[in-house]
Structure 1
Amino acid sequence: MPRRHDLVVVGGGTAGIIAATTAARLGAGVALVERDRTGGDCLWTGCVPSKSLIAAAKTAHTMRSGAAFGIDAVEPRVDFAAVLAHVRGAIARIEPVDSPDALAAAGVEVLAGDAVFTSPRELRVADRRLRFRHAVVATGSSPALPPVPGLADSDPLTSDTVWDLTELPESLIVLGGGPIGCELGQAFARLGSDVTIVEAADRLLPREEPRASDALSAALTAEGVRVLTSTTVTAAEGDHGGSTLSLSGPDSPPTLSADHVLVATGRRPGSGELGLETAMVRLDDRGHVIVDAKLRTSNPAVYAAGDVTGKLPFTHVAGMHGSIAATNALLAPTRTIDHEKIPWVTFTDPEIAHVGLTEHQARQRHGDGVRVRLLEHDDVDRAITEHATHGFTHVVLDGKHRVLGATIVAPRAGEMIAELTLLTTRRGRLRDLASVVHAYPAWSDGVWHAAVAEANSALQARPLRQITRALLHLRRLRS
């Protein structure tokens, strides 16, 4: 009979790697099973390549935008093969950190192959049986095509396959106006593609504050991206030589053609063919593994982490999931995660960062006591120096002045959101930041100015003003 592992991790993406290395550092006997290559979507098809492409595209955009700064604008010559070499170079630089060799050096046994659960406490990899005290399912997700007639046969691109392009598309239709669609759509447009984004909802980024959606739509339109919202695709035809879509929407043409169609409308969990029903692990209707706040499944010996749970589909969430799942499994199930207080960033230009509740969500939950502190970036000196004053800081507060959520639109919104994430997590008050000295001139001035405005409102409140006047009157009498 094979020995029993303390922990077996299925999946070698961010969640699986963090779970396995955390367990190894705790001294556990741990094995990680990966069917393809360690590193997951983030390294190979997600965060690393997309942000590398965005960086190249931003450089091209900067060359075109010099006139505002007294510099002659130059139309860049984009060598798409060299751009992709830059993307692959970034992947190659980071890949060793997530490699099987690095995992083995950390004390993790790495097994290549497909894992299939054969009982609640055992799984099989090829002809090898692995018995475990606990397991973590971290098999991620993959792009899903919407059920549009003819779409699957028209050879569309996805966030997985777009990196196989060898030439810059002359024209590109992006299906889906979420973070992936907007990021890649803007990047390809800046590199020189004629881009149209098609979104079924009435605005881009439907999960964000409407003001943020409007700001991004305006920025994309100003750069030549065609944005079609409230538009559905009813049929598709074509192949690798080009595609034509039939559209239905108030402002859309009846058909739209392009060299390529990039589908960014959703993802499916990687839970199939794992034999999870044999392991007594329950799934929801979409195939996500059902977990509680401690990431336990319906089988007390099995935890799940990352995209396969259907929670927030971000790398930083997957990493935290992996750490929580491993420590809860090996030590005691005491750690929890509150997904409502996790920040996320859409890395367009401008960036859109969010944490906590939107204004609408807050009013539904907390009623009329909710207030919003809105600061336009017209008066943020750093924004003025960079001709980037169209952003804003939007903070949602409860009746006790505590931060419930925030949205920032700015070139460095991803960094600016950190302080507001801390306040959201710790139920802190926005005005508490007013007494914290911030470096000047920095983009964080946007958050600080909002905090100062909140503090000034408190100082001008009628009871406090009356007390202050009384104290000043007494001091005048004494002097």
Structure 2
Amino acid sequence: MSKFDIYPIDEFNRKLLNNVHPENWENPTPAKKYNLVVIGAGTAGLISSIITASLGGKVALIEKELMGGDCLNVGCVPSKAILKSAKIAHYLKNASKYGFDNKEISSNDFPKVMERVRKIRAQISKNDSVKRYTDLGVDVFLGTAKFLNENQIEVDNKVLNFKKAIIATGAKAYVPDIPGLKENGYLTNETIFNLTTLPKHLLIIGGGPIGCEMAQAFRRLGAKVTIVEYSRLLAREDIEASEIIKKVFLNEGINILEHSQVIKVSQTNNEDKIITVKRQNETVEIVADYILVAAGRAPNVKDLNLEAAGIEYDERFGIKVNDFLQTSNKNIYAAGDCCMKWKFTHAADAAAQIAVQNALFKGKKRLSSLIMPWCTYTDPEVAHVGMYEEEASEKGDQTTTYKFDISENDRAQTESETTGFVKVLVKKNTDKILGATIVSSHAGEMINELTFAMVNNIGLGKINNVIHPYPTQSEAIKRVAGLYNKSRLTPFVAKLIGWWLKFQRR
């Protein structure tokens, strides 16, 4: 095991570590003063530093663990790699739907699946490597950053003087205070990709995006899986979307305990875990060999000595910033998971661009101006952008919803992927798009069209004029637009058209 919880140390993980935290790296001699010092080399930090360097600015980037942050090392990249393998396993087990004999996979396949995950991660790691960023003009410092005062940061016993700084330290798994949990062991997204043997029974605490994605992946790869969720699956999503995922999970054999919570963890004689779960008025005990904690994210704000720089923060919710991503120190900004409710790679990317413009060029770009889509990569996927109906109602907006079921889409039928819908929320009596939810096998790709429309203030009705290739699942969006246009055909207008066509026959 490496000091960064990366295991096993095979050729792929060695390649990863050599790229993102080379063992013999020597930090450079600091410049006299930097235009920008960035703390954290996840997405927000990488984007901030590369923009500054590309514009000719002098920039330092500090990372105490692994370049690439969560996304590369323990988030997006490994999770999507394992999800693809799990989907192939699902296809094999259900091959009769496509005209073949079903094929059962074996737990012996799991080590090869995880080797593939490590291989892909290692391949991609060169994009976030110390060498790449150094070659592009960034001074990379590996070590723990600590503010000395309002315009100095110490790392590796070196003092960095800065004009402006951006904190992009990200977040880590939030671990609830459950008796016996720490003593008996658990996994998070930071350690689950170290597994080389398939769990017999994986119990997941939390039914949010990470919990749901890993539940489906490990179930499809052959593990027994139980989800314990305090409220409902994907609680932040459209309730109809949540119910669809719940039904899919139950059909695939995932045990779901909603409105439940783990109250205690103990251990059997053979080192399996006994998880005590409180569910409404009853208490049940579940035996599992692994526990995955997926109960949310906590910002990385400790050990930075933020007080010395006059930066206000909250250990649970992160660094306090205004709409310009400026902290309580006017020369220091923050971006990404350490300060934002949107904890997505693409959100960190967009926020970093705002922070750099505002920090270096006295810009006035606002975080609130962003229209932020997101996607949970279950099968089917759940994607959303904009407001939900309840949010619009709270703001006093009257709305109309248009919905088209994916089961009516020809491409979905040819691929036997008919679960889901496209739902678009518009301002009443207009075609102004306020929000949208898509549940489909390609929802993460499809949501982009509606996001583009919202960003550019293109109404739903105009999408009906866009020719979509046939057959594609994105045609479902055009069909929703058609439903809006059809709604404009009031009885009076229909009567006028009928009269005109009758007149034309004379």
After TM superposition, the score normalised by the length of structure 1 is 0.95
CA contact (8 A) 1:377 1:391 kept: yes
2:59 to 30, 39, 48: 30
Residue in 2 that maps onto 1:398: 427
Counterpart position of 1:165: 195
Question: What is the CA distance between 1:472 and its match in structure 2?
Answer: 5.3
Aligned to 1:154: 184
The aligned runs of 1:437-452 (5 Å cut-off) are 437-452=467-482
Residue 99 of structure 2 is matched in structure 1 by: 70
> CA 1:2 to 1:71, structure 2 compared with 1: closer, same or farther past 3 Å?
closer
Q: How does 1:112-151 map to 2 (within 5 A)?
A: 112-151=142-181
Instruction: Identify which of 256, 259, 263 aligns with 2:293.
Output: 263
Distance, in Å, in 2 between the alignment partners of 1:89 and 1:39 is 16
Overall identity of the aligned pairs, in %: 38
Superposed counterparts of 1:269-418, under 5 Å: 269-284=299-314, 286-338=316-368, 341-367=371-397, 369-399=398-428, 400-418=430-448
> What is the rounded CA distance, in whole Å, between the counterparts of 2:201 and 2:256 in structure 1?
14
Partners of 1:412 and 1:155 in 2: CA distance: 36
Distance across 2 between alignment mates of 1:110 and 1:474: 77
Paired residue for 2:42? 13
Q: Give the residue type in structure 1 aligned to 2:464.
A: A
CA displacement at 1:468 relative to structure 2: 4.0
One-letter code aligned to 2:394:
Q
More displaced stretch, 252-261 vs 462-471: 462-471
How many aligned residue pairs are there? 474
Alignment partners' CA distance in 1, 2:465 and 2:252: 39
Q: Is the 8 A contact 1:269 1:310 kept in 2?
A: no
Aligned with 1:208 (options 237, 241, 264) = 237
Partner amino acid, structure 2, of 1:64: K
CA distance in 2, matches of 1:70, 1:469: 48
Residues 301 and 315 in structure 2, CA contact (< 8 A), matched pair in contact too:
no
| Structure 1 residue 266: Cα displacement | 1.4
RMSD, aligned α-carbons = 1.9
Taking a change above 3 Å as real, the CA distance of residues 327 and 311 of structure 1, as seen in their structure-2 partners, is same
Query: Is the deviation greater in 337-346 or in 411-420?
Result: 337-346
- The answer as to whether partners of 1:172 and 1:262 remain within 8 angstroms in 2 is yes
Residues 196-233 of structure 1, C-alpha deviation per residue, up to 9 Å, x if partnerless?
A: 011010x2000001100000000011111011100111
Q: Within 2, Cα distance between the matches of 1:340 and 1:150? A: 42
* 2:115 aligned partner: 85
Can you give the 5+ residue segments of structure 1 that lack an aligned partner in the other structure?
none
Distance 2:167 2:448 in 1: 30
| 1:310, distance to aligned residue in structure 2 (A) | 3.1
Deviation at 1:317, TM superposition (A): 0.6
Distance in 1 (CA, whole Å) between partners of 2:105 and 2:284 is: 34
1:348 and 1:419, CA in 2 relative to 1: closer, same or farther beyond 3 A? Answer: same
Larger CA deviation: 293-302 vs 234-243: 234-243
The equivalent of 2:213 in structure 1 is 183
* Alpha-carbon shift at residue 296 of structure 1 (Å): 1.0
* Alignment correspondent of 1:424: 454
- State which of 116, 129, 133 in structure 2 corresponds to 1:99: 129
The CA deviation at 1:167 is: 0.8
Q: Which of 246, 254, 257 pairs up with 2:276?
A: 246
Stretches of structure 2 that go unaligned for 5 or more consecutive residues are 1-29
Task: Quote how far apart the aligned CAs of 1:430 are.
Answer: 1.2
Counterpart in the other structure of 2:5: none
In structure 1, what is the Cα distance between the partners aligned to 2:276 and 2:93? 34
Amino acid at match of 2:199: P
Offset, 1:376 = 1.1
Aligned-partner Cα distance in 2 for 1:227–1:310:
30
In structure 1, distance between residues paired with 2:115 and 2:196: 11
